[in-house]
Structure 1
Amino acid sequence: MAENGYGSVIVVTSNYHMPRALAELERAMPGIVLVPYPVVDNNVEVARWWEFPGTTKLLLSEYLKYLPALGRLWATNLARVALPGTSVPPADEPEP
């Protein structure tokens, strides 16, 4: 994104997936403005999730994936503040 001069990106994904997607993208692309555009799946009953076992399982699964993503974002941001001037690559990129 930065190499091509983009300052923002529209993030389109399911509404229940948006928090994790934003955390992962913010970690991978610091300084890029993320504009969320959540999509609502009519087959997922988010408003009354506890009444639908499939939705409960889906949301619990997403939440359990969100927590580590949030931890990675927190740790990366902490490293960027604690070690200014150094490049902290995303976890999937090898260090030089």
Structure 2
Amino acid sequence: MSLDTATVRRVASLARLRVEEADLPRLEAELNGILGWIEQLQAVDTQGVEPMAGGGAEALRMREDRVTDGGIQEKVLANAPDRADAFFAVPKVVE
């Protein structure tokens, strides 16, 4: 896949990047180089190759997904400059 100047200009616009006209050819060459690397990576046969990171399903222990308060409320509030019961106390701000 190869990008032309109009496509590079559109990509920059979508990314909300201001690119000077003089910089468009350089940016076009860089993006085309990156797309060339991606095409090379897609051509590599990875059939049967185990992932090097992330382990497998047996390495990841699943835990129950539940909401808790963390059980460390006193530790969290220990350094609070001011507290009201179990909450941080902050000055009232009214404008």
After TM superposition, the score normalised by the length of structure 1 is 0.33
What is the TM-score of this pair, normalised by structure 2?
0.33
Q: Which is higher, the Rg of structure 1 or of structure 2? A: 2
More helix per residue: 1 or 2? 1
**Structure with the largest fraction of strand:** 1
